[in-house]
Structure 1
Amino acid sequence: MRINRTNPEQPAAQPVQSHAPLKAQTEVNGFELPEQEIPKENQKEPPKAAKPPKPKKEKPAKKPRRQPVEEVEDDEENEQPRRRFPFGCLIVLIILALVGFGGYKVSQFYAELDGQKTLGPTQTITVPEGSSVAGIATQLKDAGVIEYDWLFKQYVKYSGKAGEIQYGDFEVQSGMAYNDIIKALSVVTRRATVNVTIPEGTTAVGVAQIFVDAGLVDDVDTFLSCANGSDGTDWSKYDFWNAIPDNDRLMKCEGYLFPDTYNLYKDESVAYYVDALYGEFASKTAALADTVAAKGTSLDDVVKLASFIQEEAGLESEDARVSACFHNRLESSDPQWAEHKLESNASSYIMQDSENNYLWNSPTAEYFGWPEQGAIPDDVLALYDTYAISGLPAGPISCPGYAAMEAALNPDEEYINEGYYFFVTGHPGTDVAGQYFYAKTADEHYQNCVKAGWAS
C-alpha cells in the first residue's frame, strides 16, 4: 500500500489544469487499472474565462448652446487659417488722410488771412449804407476778392474791426490780406449823388423830363426808349413787366415808374436810373400780390384804375370813395351803367384847360404833339377815350402811388353798397375849394356841381 506523504516544508503543488480529454481513473488502492477513455459526453468542459463586463456608455453631457459667433469661431478653428483684411491699418490711413486734409485747409485759411504774393487786378466795389459784415463778406466773395466769406466774417468779428468798415466805393484786389482789405474798406471814396423826387400821378413823359432837368439823362427820348425796352434793354427780370399785355398801349412803362424820392449816383447809365424806379415798384407792390389774386384781377388793371384815382381824387383820404364810384360804374347792374364806362375827364375827348387830360393837355399830349396837330388820332381815342369804351383803357394814364393802388383794390364798401356813382370837388376860387361832393344820380351830381362852383 503506497502512502503519499507531503513534505511540510515544500509548498503544495498547484493543480494544473489540462485541456486534454479526461481519462478514467488508472489506480485504485495501489492497483493500476487499464486506461479507459471517458466518454465525451461525460467530460466536463473547463470553465470559460469570464468576460470582463462591458463598460456602460455614459451619455455625454449636453453641451451648452453656443452663440452663432462661437460656432463661426469653431468653424474657423477647423478651417484653414485665412488672411484677414487689415482694418486697423485702413483706419490709421483714414485718420492720417483727414489730418493731412485738415492741415492743408488750415494752411489755405492762413494763406488767405495773410494774403498772396501775387495780387489780382484792381476793382471797385460799392458797399451800400447799412450793409452788414455778412453782406460785405458775400459781396467780396462774389467779386472774387476773397474765397471764404465765413472766414472773413469771423475775422472781422473777433478782431474788433467791424467799426472801421465804411460804406461807399472802394478799390480792392484779390489776394489782399484781410487786414489790407479792411483798411481799404475804411478809406472812403464817396461818389457824388443827387436826390430825385417823382410826385405821385406823374406821367412817364413827366418822369423822363425830371431826369433830364436833374442833369442825369440827356433827353426824354433816351429815357423813354430805355424804360420801354425799345432800345434793347431787357426788363424781363421783373415779373410785373412780363405780365403787361401787348395791347397797343402808348407806352409800356406808363404807370410803373414808381413815384418816390431817390438818392442816385451821378454819371450813371440810363438803365441804372430806370432800374431804380422799377426795382422800387416791384418791392412796394409785392405786398399787394395776395390781394390781387384774391380779388381775381391783375396788377396791370390795378395800376390802370389807380392812375385814375390818383388823378381824380387828389387827396389820399378820398381815394377809397372815389374808387367806390369807379367800381360801381364798371361793375354795377344798374341799367344806366350797362355799358360800364369809366367816364373820366382825365382821359377823354373833352378838352378843357381845367382838366389835366392825358390826351389833350398833359405832358404826354405835348410829347406826341396832338394839340398842335388839332386832333387826337382815332386809334388812340379808341384805346383811351373813357366816354366811348367800356371798361378800363388800354393802359394807365400816369404813375400812381401806393395808396391809390391800395384804394383800387379796396374801395369804400359803404359807398359801393349805397350806390354812389358821381363825385366833384370844389372850385379853387370858391369857399368850398377842395371839398368833395358825392352823388348817386345824375341830377344829384348836377346840384353838387353848382355847389362846387362849376355850374350855375
Structure 2
Amino acid sequence: MAKYRRETYQNPDQPPKRGHKGCLVVIVLVVVLLAAAAFGAFSVMQDVNGRDKLGDEVVVTVQQGENSASIARSLKDAGVIKYPNIFRYYLKYTGESANLQYGDFTLVQGQSYDSIIETMSQYVKKETVSVTFPEGITAQRFAQLMEEAGLCSAEEFLDVANNGDFSQYKFWKEIPENPDRFMKCEGYLFPDTYEFFVDDSVYNYVDKLYAEFDAKVTPELRQRASDLGMTLEEAITLASFVQEEAGNAEDARVSAVFHNRLAEDSPYPRLESNASSYVQNPEDNNYIYNWIAPYYGGWDNIPENIYNAYNTYELNGLPAGPISNPGIDAIEAALYPDEEYLEGKYYFFVTDKNGVYYYAKTKAEHDANVSKAFSVQ
C-alpha cells in the first residue's frame, strides 16, 4: 500500500510568516525608537524652553556683521544651548534674526531661546577706537598707527600681519613665497578709516584690513589683471609705485609710463623710480632708505638680497613686492593705464616743485624736462 506524504506549498508572492520571536524583536525596536524620539524631542524642547537646572554665567561676544550660524555656534561653544541648528531655525521662523545686536552679552548656560534673544537684542555699546590709514603708507606705518592708538604694539601687529594664517582669502594664498621679499603683508593692508574694538585680538585687527582689501579687489579687477597678463601680486606692486609717484590725477599717465617700461620690447626695462632706489636722501620717500634700512639697523646692514630685490635702478622689471599699501584709485590706474600715453610710448616723467608733471618719449626729451622742472622757482 502506497504511503502519501503531505507537503505544504507556499505562494511565492507572499512573504514568509514570522515567528513569535521575530515579532518580539520588531516590537522592541519600535519601542526603543519611539523612546529615543521622545527623549530627543524632550531634549530639544528643554533646549528651547530652558533647562530646569541652569549653569554658569558666560560672556558671548558677537562681532559686527556676524551671521546667525556663527552666533549659534558661539552659543553652543559657550554651553548656552545644545542645538545650534535648532536655534537658527527658531530665529528664522520667529523673525528675530535681524534684531540681534553685536557686542559682549552676559548669558546663562541653559536659559531659554526667548530670553537669549531678548538679551542679545539689546544694543551693548562696546568701546571702539577709530584709526585712519592714509593711502600709500607702509606696513610699518600701519603698525605704528595701531600702537599710537593703544590697540597693540607695532611688533605684534607686524608679526600677525606677516605670519598669521589668513588662508580664508584667495589673495593671501597667491602671494609668492619669496625669500627676497621684505614684508609679506605689504600692499594688502587696505588704507581707510576703521573702527576697532578695544581689547580685541591682533588677528581680528589685521583681518579687518585684509577683509576690506578682499572686498575692494573685485573679480572684475582680477580679470582685468589677467587680461593684461599680470598676476594680482604684480598689479598691486605696480599700483604701489603709481601711488608713490603720483597718488593724484596723474595716476593713469604714470601707470602708462611704467607699463611701457615693463613691456617685453622696452628699451628701458627698469622702473628707475626714486620711490625705491639706491639714493640715500632723508627728504625722498624712498622705501629702501626710509623703511628697509631702519628695520635692519642702518643702510649698511641691509641684506644684499633684499637691497638687490628692491633697487629699481639696477633691477629689471618689478621688485620683489609692493613698496606701500595703495588705495583703490592707484590699483585701478595700474590696471587701466592712459591709452594715449601707453600707445605714445612715453618712458619718462619728472615733476617740478609745484607738482607739475613733464612726460617724455626719449632720454633727450627727458633730460630737457628735468632741466625745466629744476628751474621752476
Normalised TM-score (structure 1): 0.68
Hey, what does 1:326 align to over in structure 2?
258
What code does the residue aligned with 1:174 have?
Q
Deviation at 1:96, TM superposition (A): 7.7
Hey, what does 2:139 align to over in structure 1?
204
Fraction of identical pairs, as percent: 45
Secondary structure in 1 matching 2:287:
coil
Deviation at 1:384, TM superposition (A): 1.6
Pair 1:355–1:451, CA change in 2 (3 A): same
Hey, what does 1:298 align to over in structure 2?
231
Deviation at 1:163, TM superposition (A): 7.0
Secondary structure in 1 matching 2:217:
helix
Question: Using the alignment, how far apart are the partners of 1:408 and 1:438 within structure 2?
Answer: 17
Deviation at 1:352, TM superposition (A): 4.2
**Partner residue of 1:264 out of 196, 199, 209:** 196
Pair 1:119–1:378, CA change in 2 (3 A): same
Asked if structure 1 preserves the Cα contact closer than 8 Å seen for 2:292 and 2:302, the reply is no
**Partner residue of 2:60 out of 125, 128, 135:** 125
Task: Determine if the alignment matches structure 1 residue 345 to structure 2 residue 274.
Answer: yes
Hey, what does 1:395 align to over in structure 2?
321
Deviation at 1:175, TM superposition (A): 1.8
Aligned length: 365
CA offsets per residue over residues 114-172 of structure 1, 9 Å max, x none? 11123344432222345565664455346553344454345445556567643211122
Pair 1:452–1:97, CA change in 2 (3 A): same
Hey, what does 1:407 align to over in structure 2?
333
**1:105-254 matches, cutoff 5 A:** 105-130=40-65, 136-137=71-72, 139-141=74-76, 143-156=78-91, 165-218=100-153, 220-229=154-163, 233-242=164-173, 243-254=175-186
CA offsets per residue over residues 175-204 of structure 1, 9 Å max, x none? 211122123213444321101111111112
What code does the residue aligned with 2:161 have?
A
Secondary structure in 1 matching 2:240:
helix
What code does the residue aligned with 1:290 have?
Q
RMSD: 3.7
Asked if structure 2 preserves the Cα contact closer than 8 Å seen for 1:203 and 1:364, the reply is no
Question: Using the alignment, how far apart are the partners of 1:397 and 1:222 within structure 2?
Answer: 21
Pair 1:406–1:76, CA change in 2 (3 A): same
What code does the residue aligned with 1:310 have?
Q
Deviation at 1:103, TM superposition (A): 4.3
Hey, what does 1:289 align to over in structure 2?
222
Question: Using the alignment, how far apart are the partners of 1:98 and 1:197 within structure 2?
Answer: 61
Hey, what does 1:7 align to over in structure 2?
none
Question: Using the alignment, how far apart are the partners of 2:128 and 2:146 within structure 1?
Answer: 13
Asked if structure 1 preserves the Cα contact closer than 8 Å seen for 2:180 and 2:305, the reply is no
Pair 1:445–1:98, CA change in 2 (3 A): same
Secondary structure in 1 matching 2:288:
coil
Deviation at 1:349, TM superposition (A): 1.6
- The gaps in structure 1 that reach 5 residues or longer are 1-74, 429-433
What code does the residue aligned with 1:275 have?
D
What code does the residue aligned with 1:435 have?
V
Task: Determine if the alignment matches structure 1 residue 438 to structure 2 residue 359.
Answer: yes
Asked if structure 2 preserves the Cα contact closer than 8 Å seen for 1:127 and 1:169, the reply is yes
- The gaps in structure 2 that reach 5 residues or longer are 1-8
What code does the residue aligned with 1:227 have?
A
Asked if structure 2 preserves the Cα contact closer than 8 Å seen for 1:307 and 1:399, the reply is yes
What code does the residue aligned with 1:440 have?
K
Pair 1:120–1:395, CA change in 2 (3 A): same
What code does the residue aligned with 1:267 have?
D
Asked if structure 1 preserves the Cα contact closer than 8 Å seen for 2:351 and 2:358, the reply is yes
Task: Determine if the alignment matches structure 1 residue 370 to structure 2 residue 298.
Answer: yes
Asked if structure 2 preserves the Cα contact closer than 8 Å seen for 1:309 and 1:323, the reply is yes
CA offsets per residue over residues 5-54 of structure 1, 9 Å max, x none? xxxxxxxxxxxxxxxxxxxxxxxxxxxxxxxxxxxxxxxxxxxxxxxxxx
Asked if structure 2 preserves the Cα contact closer than 8 Å seen for 1:170 and 1:187, the reply is no
CA offsets per residue over residues 85-116 of structure 1, 9 Å max, x none? 59xx89x9698887666544433332112111
Task: Determine if the alignment matches structure 1 residue 421 to structure 2 residue 353.
Answer: no
Pair 1:153–1:359, CA change in 2 (3 A): closer
Question: Using the alignment, how far apart are the partners of 2:15 and 2:205 within structure 1?
Answer: 79
Deviation at 1:261, TM superposition (A): 1.6
Q: Mean Cα displacement is larger for which, 121-130 or 400-409?
A: 121-130
Hey, what does 2:287 align to over in structure 1?
358
Pair 1:296–1:159, CA change in 2 (3 A): closer
Question: Using the alignment, how far apart are the partners of 1:159 and 1:297 within structure 2?
Answer: 50
Asked if structure 1 preserves the Cα contact closer than 8 Å seen for 2:48 and 2:113, the reply is yes
